[in-house]
Each structure stands twice: as C-alpha cells, then as structure tokens.
Structure 1
Amino acid sequence: MLSINQFHQLIRLELDKALASATVAAKRAHETATDSESIAKSKYETFGLEASYLAHGQSVRVAQCQADIRAFEAMFTRLNSNSIIESKGTKEPKVELGRLVLLMDENGKNQYLFVGPGAGGLKIAYEHDSIMVVTLESPLGITMANKRQGDDFSLNVAGNKREYEIIEVK
C-alpha cells in the first residue's frame, strides 16, 4: 500500500489540479463580468450582474482550494513529524484525521476512504482503486469517527439505511 509520503504526493497533485481548474474558471468569469459586452443597456438586462455573481463564486472556490492545500500540507507535516503515533497495546488505531480506512458495505463492496481536513469528495486514483477524501464533519465522518477495525455502523443515505464494517484503519 501507499506510504504517507506517496499519498501526500498524490493528494497534492489532485488538489493542485482542482486549484488550477478553479483559477481558470475564476479568470474566465471575471473577464466575462468586466467585458464591455456585459454592461446592461436596460434595467432588464441582467447578464452582467449574473456574471459578477459567478465571478465571485469562482473566486470563493479558488480561496477554498488554497485553504484545502494549506490544511493538507499542515496535516502531512504534522503526520510526518509524529510518524503517525500508533496506538500502543492491543487496541487497533481508530478512525481519525490522517487515517486511511477500508470499509465494506452490506453487499461486500469495499471502499477506501482517507480522513482529511478538507476537500471532502475528492477522489485519488491509485493503481486499481479509488480513494475518496472524507472529513470528520461529513455525515460519514461523524458516524465512523473513533471507531476501530472490526466495528460496524449504519448510516442513512438518501433515506436508505446502509450498513458498513470497518475492515482496516491505517
């Protein structure tokens, strides 16, 4: 499996891609909002106003991507300096920030999750697997926080109750 440094590189690559995409979209939206063609010629023309709302939203997205990068960098620096302090004794590591979790649903389908400080829903491709970032603030993160390998839990997803087992926590 991946080392923490390899995973750091993969996630940083995906975060950088998200930032680049958001930056391009923000630039386009700003250019559209400030273009002379966007100036309203009557009180009924709202294209310029709508373009300025879009430009603002895109700039917020850029700021969020930058904040996600800073949060992940800080987390990985902390993890590297602590060498991911492992639990001593017989207890397995618990689901917490910086952990890679392998879940199995009631149908036997496995899913890798990485508990991160932000960028929830971001997917990282690794070999034949996809690792999805979840935060401890998400419904899934809240439900599985502090659980350990072998623990079961259920979660309501779109009105349907789903059962999960934690297969591994790294």
Structure 2
Amino acid sequence: MDKTSLVQQVLSHLTDTLHQAEHAAQVAHETATHEENIAENKYDTLGLEAAYLATGQARRAEAIRRAIALWRQFRPRPHDAGQGIALGALVCLVDAAGQQQWLFLGPDGGSMKLACGDQAVQVISTEAPLGQALLGKCEGDEVTLPGAAGRQVFEVLWVK
C-alpha cells in the first residue's frame, strides 16, 4: 500500500476539481457581465444572481487551491504503533456486520474516494468526526460515533 500514490491521486482529483470550479466561475462571471443581462427593473435579477454565483465559485476555487497547497506539502509517515493512529495513517475499520472500510487520514480539503487496486479508500481529514475519533487509537480498539440512527461502532482492524 503506497501512501505516496494515494497523495498523488488526491492531488490529481483536486486539480481536476479546481479546473471545474474555475470554469464555472468564469461562465458565471461572463453571464453576470453580459450586456443582455443588464437589469431593466428591480425585479430583473439574473445578472445579480450570476454575480453571486461567480463569487461563490471563486471562493470555492480558492479553497481548493489551499487544499492543493496542503496536500503538496503533506508527507505521510510510516505508522508508529506506540503513537496510535495519526495524520497520514491508512486504516481499515470493520463494523458489526463485518463490512470493512479503508480510510486515509489526510489534511483538510481531501474528502473523496480513491481506488487502491480493487479496494475503495475514503480520504478524510482529522477534523472530520470519524477522523477525530480515530486519533490515538490502535489495532483492536473500538471507535464509536453517534449517528442519526444510533451509535455506530467500528473496530480498528489494522493500521499502516
């Protein structure tokens, strides 16, 4: 299991998402400033709405740029069993039904699913509720999360 490969997949996904957000911001800006969208009365708000959308897309693009910067600096370390789960850990959880779930703890902005061979790996930050619950845990420990349908209980199967 190569964590560097996972980081590269995250960067690739974030870069694609950034291009999409930048394009959406550009289209919204062009709509907001197009001469046909000049308000003719106080109820004609298409240009104003497009301007709000352009601003939101620009903010989204900036947040993605910050996430890319964090992930470019991120160097996952090998797991230290004495320290427990930490940023950069690749974790396998199992629930009461025996369903396994692979997680990769990374910096903010990386919530996504990746493929690692034929296995799906969910990328989460240590700020996410599950990420926080995992910090410091070791193989064999239980992790409990409150949920809308009651508590969810997982066992840490392995950590790399």
TM-score (norm 2): 0.91
Q: How many angstroms apart in 1 are the aligned matches of 2:67 and 2:134?
A: 22
Pair 1:101–1:108, CA change in 2 (3 A):
same
Q: What is the deviation of 1:69?
A: 0.6
Native 8 Å contact 1:93 1:149 kept in 2: no
Give yes or no for contact 2:84–2:138 (8 Å, CA) kept in 1.
Answer: yes
- Report the Cα offset of residue 15 of structure 1: 1.4
Residues 45-56 of structure 1 mapped to structure 2, 5 A cutoff? 45-56=44-55
**Which structure 2 residues correspond to residues 1-170 of structure 1 after superposition, within 5 A?**
1=1, 3-76=2-75, 79=76, 84=77, 86-87=79-80, 91=81, 94-170=84-160
1: CA distance, partners of 2:124 / 2:82: 20
4+ residue runs of structure 1 moved beyond 4 angstroms? none
Partners of 1:157 and 1:30 in 2: how far apart? Answer: 40
What do the CA deviations read for 1:56-83 (whole angstroms, capped 9, x no partner)? 110011001111110011112xx4xxxx
SS at match of 2:146: strand
SS at match of 1:96: coil
Give CA-to-partner distance per residue, 1:87-142, whole Å, 9 cap, x none: 3xxx4552211111111112111111111111242111222222111111111111
Identical-pair percentage: 36
Pick closer, same or farther for the CA change 1:160–1:38 going to 2, 3 Å.
farther
**TM-score normalized by the length of structure 1:** 0.86
Mean Cα deviation higher: 141-150 or 59-68: 141-150
Letter in 2 for 1:14: H
CA distance in 1, matches of 2:128, 2:138: 18
Instruction: Please provide the CA RMSD for this pair.
Output: 1.7
The verdict on how the C-alpha distance between 1:121 and 1:160 changes in structure 2, with shifts beyond 3 A counting, is farther
Gaps of 5+ in 1: none
